[in-house]
């Protein structure tokens, strides 16, 4: 079986970080799956993601030296996945990474048939509630995010595996775990 990069995507507020954190805790290194860290020009205390914080200058330095496999800019920050992903995949290790919906085609060009997009989906009303609860954006910005999300979902229909995260996080985590382990041919009780 070919090593796979599970490219987890979904809108802000869909629960990607919580799912990755929960999956990491559940699997605890027992499954044939590595967790990639993103490189982000954001303080390591910000947000729930376990990422590698870089200054804008450090990011530019690594980019210039070819140390990123995939990079993008969004929400006032720069993001990247490192070239270590190639080494991991080439050695037969499957990997899960927090990706970008807007840069899915770029990821497909970078990783080819090794890429398996997994989309975290949340109903628009529930997503609106989650974005409001975060308190980072006003109603106009939230509405713009929801419109963008609807457009991106239409564009990707049928191109990704989907995980519903509308209710209980633990249930969504179980669905994600089962999906990944089934694809990897690993026992469901890992």
143 is an annotated ligand-binding site residue: no
170 is an annotated ligand-binding site residue: no
Q: In the prediction, which pLDDT does 135 show? A: 80
Residue 46 has pLDDT above 60, yes or no: no
15 is an annotated ligand-binding site residue: yes
12 is an annotated ligand-binding site residue: yes
Three-state DSSP at 147 gives helix
Q: Residue 100 is part of a domain; what is its CATH number?
A: 3.40.50.300
14 is an annotated ligand-binding site residue: yes
Domain extent for 46: 5-184
Residue 165 lies in a domain: yes
Closest by CA position to 86, among listed 180, 186, 3: 3
Residue 97 lies in a domain: yes
Number of structural domains, the chain? Answer: 1
Closest by CA position to 99, among listed 119, 122, 114: 119
Q: Is the pTM of this model over 0.85?
A: yes
pLDDT tens-place string over residues 102-133: 899 999 999 999 999 999 999 999 999 988 98
Three-state DSSP at 44 gives coil
Measured CA distances, 179 to 8, 99, 117, 119, 124 (Å): 12, 18, 12, 12, 24
In sequence order, what are the beta bridge partners of 40?
Answer: 53, 79
């Amino acid at each position: 079986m070919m090593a796979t990069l599970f490219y987890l995507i979904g809108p802000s507020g869909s629960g990607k970080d919580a799912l990755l954190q929960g999956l990491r805790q559940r699997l605890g290194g027992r499954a044939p799956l590595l967790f990639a860290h993103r490189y982000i020009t954001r303080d390591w205390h910000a947000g729930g993601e376990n990422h590698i914080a870089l200054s804008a200058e450090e990011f530019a330095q690594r980019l210039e030296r070819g140390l990123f496999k995939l990079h993008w800019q969004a929400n006032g920050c720069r993001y990247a996945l490192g070239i270590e992903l190639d080494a991991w995949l080439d050695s037969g290790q499957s990997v899960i990474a927090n990706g970008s919906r807007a840069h899915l085609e770029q990821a497909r060009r970078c990783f080819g048939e090794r890429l398996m997009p997994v989309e975290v989906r949340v109903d628009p009303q529930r997503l609106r509630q989650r974005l409001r609860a975060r308190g980072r954006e006003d109603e106009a910005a939230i509405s713009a995010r929801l419109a963008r999300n609807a457009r991106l979902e239409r564009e990707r229909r049928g191109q990704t595996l989907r995980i519903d995260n509308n209710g209980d996080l633990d249930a969504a985590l179980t669905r994600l775990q089962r999906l990944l382990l089934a694809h990897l041919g690993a026992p469901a009780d890992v």
